[in-house]
Amino acid sequence: MRSFISLIYLICAGMTALIIGCQQPQEYVFATDSCINNLRLIEMVKQQWMIEERKTTNDVPTWDDLRPYIEPVPTGLSEGVFRFRGAL
pLDDT digits (tens, 9 = 90+) for 52-83: 999 988 888 888 888 888 877 776 665 566 66
**Which residues, 6+ apart, have CB-to-CB distance to 87 below 8 Å?**
57, 58, 59, 60
- The answer to whether residues 41 and 81 touch, using CB atoms and an 8 Å cutoff, is no
pLDDT digits (tens, 9 = 90+) for 15-51: 666 566 555 565 555 667 777 888 888 888 889 999 9
Q: What is the dihedral of CA 50, 52, 55, 57, to 10 degrees?
A: 20
Q: What is the pLDDT of residue 51?
A: 92
User: For the chain, which residues make up each domain, given as ranges?
Assistant: 2-79
Output phi, psi for 74, to 5 deg.
-70, 150
What letter represents residue 13's amino acid? A
